[in-house]
Amino acid sequence: MNNVKNILDTLSSSIEGHNLLDVKFFAGKNREVTQEKFCEEANKSLTQFHLGQVEPKKSIDGHLKVVSINDFLK
């Protein structure tokens, strides 16, 4: 529970007037990991963002070539 509290503390201390509405996760393939380690990793990424060590990306796609389904089937 302490690790969950760390996540909430990082969330609430980082943004003024912050009102948390929802938190979700996309777990990795390692299901042998402990909850403590999982929460540690979640908190690590939040901390990196709030310390300004990482920046949002404007585009997640980059320059992807678009192909019609008919051309793909040829």
Partner 1 sequence: MSLEKLIAQFGSITEFPVKVDTVRDWIIKNNYQDEIYFIPTDIDENILRGQFRKYTRHNVTYGDPIFTTNILYAESMNLCWERFVCCKEMMHIFDAPKAVSCTSEQIDALTSSLVSSYIGNLSDSYLAEHDAVISALRVLAPIGAIKKLNDAYGERKKSDYDIARYFRIPEMFVPILFSGDYQSLCDV
Is 21 a residue that touches partner 1 (CB under 8 A)?
A: yes
Q: Which of 38, 43, 41 is nearest to 11 (CA)?
A: 43
Structure tokens, 18: 């912050």
Q: How far is the CB of 3 from partner 1 (least distance, A)?
A: 8
Is 54 a residue that touches partner 1 (CB under 8 A)?
A: yes
Residue 39: HSE in the Cβ half-sphere, 13 Å Cα cutoff: 14
| 43 CB neighbour count, 10 Å cutoff | 19
User: For binding to partner 1 (CB under 8 A), which residues are involved?
Assistant: 1, 3-5, 7-8, 11, 15-31, 33-35, 37-39, 41-42, 44-46, 48-49, 54-57, 59-62, 64, 66-70, 72-73
